[in-house]
Each structure stands twice: as C-alpha cells, then as structure tokens.
Amino acid sequence: MKIDNDFNDIDAMGDNHIGSSSDTPMRSDAFKLSDKEKVDIIKDDVRHIMETLGLDLKDDSLKGTPSRVAKMFVNEIFGGLDPDKKPKASTFSNKYQYGEMLVEKNITVYSTCEHHLLPIVGKAHVAYISNGSVVGLSKMNRIVDYFAKRPQVQERLTIQIVRELQSVLNTEDVACVIDAKHLCVNSRGIRDVDCSTVTSEFGGKFKEKEMRREFLDYINLDTQF
C-alpha cells in the first residue's frame, strides 16, 4: 500500500534535516475553513492525542488544554500562514539621501520546526541599502515575526525575509543572518543543549566580500544600554 511506503520513507529519513521549496508548502484549499472552524477541529485532534497518551482530561489542569492549544496554533504561533496577517510595510522616500547600509540587529525570532513542531528560538539580523526608499524600523521586526509564525525550516525563513524586503524596498541589496536554537536538537534526539544553527542570505551588493564583511562586523558590535 502507498501509505505504508510513505511511512517507510519517513522512518528512513529519521532526524535528517529535509528541506523543500523556499515557499511554505500550502494546499490550495488552505483558507477554505474559517479560523473558528480550524480551532474546533484542532481542539478535537489535540484531545484525541492527549487521551491516546492516557491523560485524564476531566482533571482541572488538563481539561482546557485542547482549546488553548488549538487557539494558540491558529491565532498565534502559526498566524503567519494567513496572508491577511501579513504586515503592511509602507515605504518612504529617502529624502536625507542616506546611502550606507541600515542594519536592524538582534530581532527576536520565535518559530516552530516543521519536522517535530518544537520551538526555534534565536536572533535575526537584517540589513538593506536604500534604492531611494526606506521602511520603518519596526516593520523589519514585523516581517521577521510574520514569516517566523509558521512551521518552518531556518533556511527558508532566512530566504523569505530577504525576498519580502527586496520586494518592499524594490532593491536586491538586502541581507539576513539568523542564529537560532532548535529544540528538536537541544531537547530531544541528540539533546545537544549548546549548539545553534546559523543561516544567511545575501542579495545584491551584499554578495560582495567587503560589503558582507562590513555587515557581519556591525552585527558583532556589543550593543549595551
């Protein structure tokens, strides 16, 4: 049977880091159901998982868990799947003619590994060189947060952030570096609590060695207040 073959393929992969496209894999009917309908379905699924594990959902501490998890999935940690929640990043004319790179560093990343649905926690560092337009600083944080709030692999997240800013700012000169811990590695499997994963995506002028080096020097500055 095909389903048996599918499970065999998954078992063969084990904990290997498998990637797909740079776009989040979505079904064509992903938004057919309302958020409320999704919450109701997920709530039943979570209840079934907990009951299968032998938990007593009549206990006061557990009886609200299926509902809380379902709402969290739809409204919070996977909210970045909904294009209606995509931040509107208005741009402004670069009237002051600032021509050097602008770096927004230490942007907090909370995401979820799509292989085990465990947290990814880290920092993103983003930079761009204006091509005549600038974007509000907080919008850069919001773009990172939007693409992080979905089942992810870190490589894809890094690429998606850069592509979105390139589109918003109409320039190829965008860079992103992410340094993050994956709890699927830190808390299970090999359980290496100290390791982190670093990914990068460099566009336009940031592909040049000197420009890339300048960006990396900036994000290594020890900023304290």
User: What are the residues whose beta carbons fall under 8 Å from the beta carbon of 162, sequence distance 6 or more?
Assistant: 174, 175, 176, 201, 203
Q: Strand 119-129 relative to strand 91-93: parallel, antiparallel, unpaired?
A: unpaired
Which of 104, 164, 184, 201 is flagged as catalytic? Answer: 184
Secondary structure (3-state) at 200? strand
Residue 182 is among the residues annotated as catalytic for this protein: yes
Nearest alpha-carbon partner for 159 in 203, 212, 224:
203
Q: Kindly name the residue from 104, 114, 164, 201 that is annotated as catalytic.
A: 114
Among residues 154, 160, 164, 201, which one is catalytic? 154
Selected catalytic residue, list 115, 155, 172, 214: 115
Give the phi and the psi of residue 122 in degrees, each rounded to 5: -175, -155
Q: Which of 104, 160, 176, 182 is catalytic?
A: 182
Residue 48 bears catalytic tag: no
Is 125 an annotated catalytic residue? no
Question: Cα(107)–Cα(110) distance, rounded to whole angstroms?
Answer: 10
Let me know if 95 is exposed, middle or buried by CB neighbors in 10 A (0-12, 13-18, 19+).
exposed
106 forms beta bridges with none
Name the active-site residue from 113, 164, 176, 201. Answer: 113
Query: What is the distance of C-alpha 175 from the center of its chain?
Result: 16
Q: Would you call 114 a catalytic residue per the annotation? A: yes
Residue 115 among the catalytic residues: yes
Interatomic CA distance for residues 93 and 6, integer angstroms: 52
Instruction: Provide CB contacts within 8 A for 179, sequence distance 6+.
Output: 122, 123, 196, 197, 198
Which residue among 17, 116, 172, 214 is the active-site one? 116
Mind telling me the catalytic residues? 113-116, 154, 182, 184
